[in-house]
Chain A
Amino acid sequence: MSTDDEIRDAFHSRLDPALSNLTVSPSLLSEVRRRHAHQRRLVAVGAPLGVAVVTAGSVTAAIALPGHGGSQTVQVGSGSTGPTATVLGHKLTFPVGWTVKKRYGMSSVESSTMRDDGTNTATVSEAESIMVTTPENRPAVTITVVRDGVGTAPVATATPAPGDPPTTISNGGASGGGSITCAAGKAHRVHHGRHHLVTSSSVTGSSVGASPTSPPTTFGTGPMRHSATCGTLAAKPMRPQVHYRFDNTDDLWAYAKGMHKYELSDFVHNAIDE
């Protein structure tokens, strides 16, 4: 027997009895498992993503569909532990001293599907967004909740104009006014789980109106979710983003300035956990 083995035997012969009465509290185990069950839905998305900005102009141009356009209202209030916001029915609670501001609530056309009769239908989504600012009044976290598939709308397909950039993803118009946004420029896809992440690194095209349907970076399951509103957008590097899926399949997206992605993950986790 080696010296190490003798020491190990000595340790265990002395310490095993001393520690034999230590048992793990059931509440500790249940708490850990509960938190893990909650955590599993929180996916921290890597920071090095190009994040496009949803512009104010595009918000006002969002397609309004009867019964959906902006029908949901972000409720902002204050609770005993800090400010609260109800976003698409999901209550979020934030630390004391932080401020919640409503950004927008809207409905939008997400993607289109070609029917047998040659017409297209577009899936309508709802989105609501809030901005959470620090006690120093510094914009910190933007949170958007998206609910997909609240309806469909007919869409007329348009042929890309001759001058459009060759990498245009989609370009069309919606019946009833307005138009579907496009994401032009050099785009690339990154596979992330079951999602397709589409980022647009340099958007140079333009469109008639726009519908910012998704949070700044789009993780779409469909083939043509746009990644950004059209206009001049510069790629925004290194902005952490977090995706959370609620039980009812609503998606929450959060991105932040000046926060590490794990800080952001904790921040969102705690807001929902409350």
Chain B
Amino acid sequence: MRMRRLDADFDDFVLGRSPALLRTAALLVGDRHEAEDLLQTALLRLARHWSRAVENPDAYVRRVMVNLACDHSRRRRRRPVQLGSVPDVPVGDASNDDHDDLVQALRDLPERQRATVVLRFWEDLSVAETAAILGCTEGTVKSTTSKALAHLRAAIQIPQLATAIGADDVH
């Protein structure tokens, strides 16, 4: 009976949370196909550890996705460019430059900075929650956030964001 309940909970979680988690994955890796791979891998790992992760599956999946995204970025940097390979499919709507600016600026951030701002400002997590997922101190989250926002401010010209980012103190 308990097993059936756990199965039903898992299905509910996958069906209910996958769309939002896919968007987070897309921001973490900046590519639609890679985002789907990232989400699928994270959900399969969640399935394996569901009985332990059931208390907070969101946090578990986010942590897996962040770790995989960072690993992916590192591998990508080392990988030679292959001629004739399938091109990435960037996230975003090409018809809207504002959107693309921010998406592109996020893609250009170092992976830890990108993960930090995605968790803080897209997933709306607190500093403490972000630190728990990234496995670092709250102070590190704050300093990383400041650096990331500084990069974004320099990269994009969005008044609303630039104004917000312009504040020195990020809580």
Q: Does A6 contact B (CB under 8 A)?
A: yes
Within 8 A of B (CB), among A176-202: none
Within 8 A of B (CB), among A1-22: 2-4, 6-15, 17-19, 21-22
Q: Which of B10, B48, B167, B169 has the most CB of A within 10 A?
A: B48
Rounded to whole angstroms, the CA-CA distance of A40 and B127 in the bound complex is 34
Of B39, B122, B170, the residue contacting A12 (CB under 8 A) is: B122
Q: Does B129 contact A (CB under 8 A)?
A: no
Is A14 a contact of B44 with CB atoms below 8 Å?
no
B22 CB → nearest A CB, Å: 5
Is B120 a contact of A4 with CB atoms below 8 Å?
yes
Of A4, A7, A8, A19, the residue contacting B23 (CB under 8 A) is: A19
- Interface residue tally on A, bucketed by range: 20 to 34
What DSSP secondary structure best describes chain A's contact surface?
A: helix
The residues of A that contact B3 with a CB separation of less than 8 Å are: 40
Rounded to whole angstroms, the CA-CA distance of A124 and B169 in the bound complex is 73
The residues of A that contact B108 with a CB separation of less than 8 Å are: none
Within 8 A of B (CB), among A125-166: none
Scoring A residues 256 to 271 as 1 if CB is less than 8 Å from chain B, else 0, what string do you get? Answer: 0000001001000000
Rounded to whole angstroms, the CA-CA distance of A21 and B167 in the bound complex is 32
Rounded to whole angstroms, the CA-CA distance of A40 and B7 in the bound complex is 8
Of B47, B100, B164, the residue contacting A3 (CB under 8 A) is: B164
10 shortest interchain CB distances as A-B pairs: A18-B99, A36-B47, A6-B164, A10-B161, A3-B167, A11-B121, A18-B92, A7-B164, A19-B23, A32-B43
Cross-chain pairs A/B with CB under 8 angstroms, 15 sampled: A3-B170, A4-B121, A6-B163, A7-B149, A7-B170, A10-B158, A11-B121, A14-B99, A17-B99, A24-B36, A31-B40, A32-B44, A33-B11, A35-B44, A39-B47
Interface residues, chain B, with chain A CB atoms under 8 Å away: 3, 6-7, 10-11, 14-15, 18-19, 22-23, 26-27, 32, 35-36, 39-40, 43-44, 47-48, 50, 91-93, 96, 98-100, 102-103, 117, 120-122, 124, 149, 158, 160-161, 163-165, 167, 169-171
